Amino acid sequence: MSAAGRSAPDEGGATQQPPGIVSAIAEVAGSAAVEAAWARTEAAAMAMADPADNRPPVALVTGHWGDGHEEVVATTRLFAGALARHARVQVLHLVPDDPGRPAARPVEADSIFPVHHLPVAGARPLLAGVVHAALGEAGARRPPAAARPLLRRLAGRSPGLEEALADTAPGHVVLVGHRLPLDPASLGRRSAPGAPRVVALPCTASTAHLADGPLAALLERADAIAYLHPGERHALQALGHDRLVPLDLALPLNRRAVVHPLFGVSFFAPYVLLLRSFPPGGARFRRSLTHELAIRRLGRSAAEVDGDRWRVSDAEGTLPLPVTPTRVNLWRLMAHAELTIDLRPAGPLGREALESMLLGTPVVVPEGSAAMAHVEAAGGGLWYRDLRELVDAAQALLDPALRARMGAQGATYAAAHHSGMDDFVERVGALVLGP
C-alpha cells in the first residue's frame, strides 16, 4: 500500500482521510470493511519479512515519515530507499500521541517498507524550543546538568519503542532526527559484543539541539554520525564529536526534462526565480521580497513559485502559470533563470539550492541556513541577512562574469557531492552495515 493510502496529519493537526482504497471502502461499506482493509494492509506489511530474504535487518527510528511537506521527511525517504537495496528496512515511526486524532494502526505497508507506528506521550517540542532559546540567551552552549531532566521530560516517552526494537531484532539501527525519546542503554554499549551498529542522522546544525541531553547521549552511543552539509559538520565538531561521515545525499534530477522552458515564460526572459513556498503546503513567510520590488530593483522579470500558485511578471503585467506544481516544472524554471532567490524558512538540507546549482544557476539564500553552508562551500552564490542584503546580493549576481563563474562553481560542487545515485546507494550501505 502506498503512502497515499493512509491517514496523515495536515499542518494544522487535523487528520486527512486516506484518498485510496481504505477511504473508498469507508464511504460505501462502513467500519467493518475498513477494519478488513487495514487487516489486509497489516498482513501485507508482515509478509514483507520474507524468511528467504537474507539481507540484514535494519530498524530506522524516526518521527519524520509519511507524506509531510518537511524537507527532512523527503531526506529520510531518499535515505531509506537507498538503504533498502542492501537491507530489510523496518521503519519505527514515532507519532505524537494526540487524543483528538484517530489512532494509527500499529503496522502498515508503505511501498516496500513495513512501518510500525509508535505513539509518543508527553512530548512538548514548543516548550523545549523555549528552554533551548533561553539557555542560548544565557550563553550556555550545552544544557547545564540541572536542565537535563527537564529536557528529557519535554522529549516525551514512547513506551513501545524499546519493545519494538527488541521484536525486530536488528543488527543495525538508524536514528533520524533530533527528537528521539530513546534510552541509549537499550542499544547497548558501542562496539560491545552483540550490540547493534547505530548510525545517527541528527538533521540539524543547531548547537542547542545537538547538545540537548537526550540527543547528545544518543550521538555519543552512535558508531557513526552522518551530516547533511558542512555547517552541520562544524557544529558537531565544535561539540567534540568524531566518527563523522558526510551523507552527500544524491538528488535525482532529469536534465532532459529541462531542455525547454515552461510555456509562456520565454516571453518574460530574462527573469529571476523567487521561491516563496515549495513543495505546495510547505513553510513560507508572510512577508518577503515582492515581485514588484524585485522587478524594479533588479531590472528583470520575476517568476514566482508560491505553493501551487505560480506566475511570471514584468513591469507591464503578470501571467499565471497553469502548470502542475511539480519538481520537474520547478527544475525547468530554475534551468532557464538567471538566478534563484530562496525566500523560504530554512530546511535541514537546502535541496532546492543544490538542484539550482546542479543546473548551473547560481542562488541567493538566507544566512545561517543549510543552503548557505552548501553555497559557501561551493562558491555557487551569495547569502543575505535582511531585505537590503538580499537585493544587493541579487544585483551583484546579475553581473554576467560573476554569474557565470558562480554558476560553474556551484555545478561542479553539486555534481561532485549530490549526484551519482549508484555511488550514493553503495555509500549508504557501507555507512549503515559497516566495513
Mean pLDDT check: name the lowest of 2-6, 91-95, 200-204, 400-404.
2-6
Nearest-angstrom CA–CA distance, 316 and 140: 53
Kindly tell me if the per-residue pLDDT of 12 is higher than 60.
no
Question: Judging by DSSP bridges, how do beta strands 309-313 and 318-320 pair with one another?
Answer: antiparallel
374-424, pLDDT tens digit by residue? 999 999 999 999 999 999 999 999 999 999 999 999 999 999 999 999 999
Which 8-state DSSP code applies to residue 434? -
Position with higher pLDDT, 138 vs 65:
65
Q: Which of 313, 57, 20, 23 minimizes the C-alpha distance to 168?
A: 57
Position with higher pLDDT, 236 vs 20:
236
Contact residues for 335 (Cβ-Cβ < 8 A; gap 6+): 258, 261, 359, 360, 361
In this prediction, residue 228 carries a pLDDT of: 97
33-46, pLDDT tens digit by residue? 434 433 434 444 44
Please report which confidence band the pLDDT of residue 66 belongs to, taking 50, 70 and 90 as the band edges: confident
Helix (H, G, I), strand (E, B) or coil at 116: strand
Nearest-angstrom CA–CA distance, 214 and 223: 16
For residue 273, list its beta bridge partners: 303, 340
C-beta contacts of 291-300 below 8 A and 24+ residues apart: 291/318, 293/391, 294/341, 294/394, 297/391, 297/394, 297/395, 298/272, 298/391, 298/394, 298/395, 298/398, 299/398, 300/270, 300/271, 300/272, 300/338, 300/398
Torsion of CA 347, 348, 353, 357, to 10 degrees: -170
In this prediction, residue 197 carries a pLDDT of: 95
In this prediction, residue 34 carries a pLDDT of: 36
Q: Which of 71, 155, 68, 53 minimizes the C-alpha distance to 114?
A: 53
* Cell numbers describing residue 205: 546544525
Helices (H) then strands (E): counts for the chain: 16, 17
Please report which confidence band the pLDDT of residue 53 belongs to, taking 50, 70 and 90 as the band edges: confident
Nearest-angstrom CA–CA distance, 127 and 113: 33
Contact residues for 132 (Cβ-Cβ < 8 A; gap 6+): 143, 206, 208, 209, 212
Mean pLDDT rounded to a whole number for the chain: 84
Q: Are 313 and 301 in contact (CB under 8 A)?
A: yes
Nearest-angstrom CA–CA distance, 159 and 172: 21
96-105, pLDDT tens digit by residue? 876 555 555 6
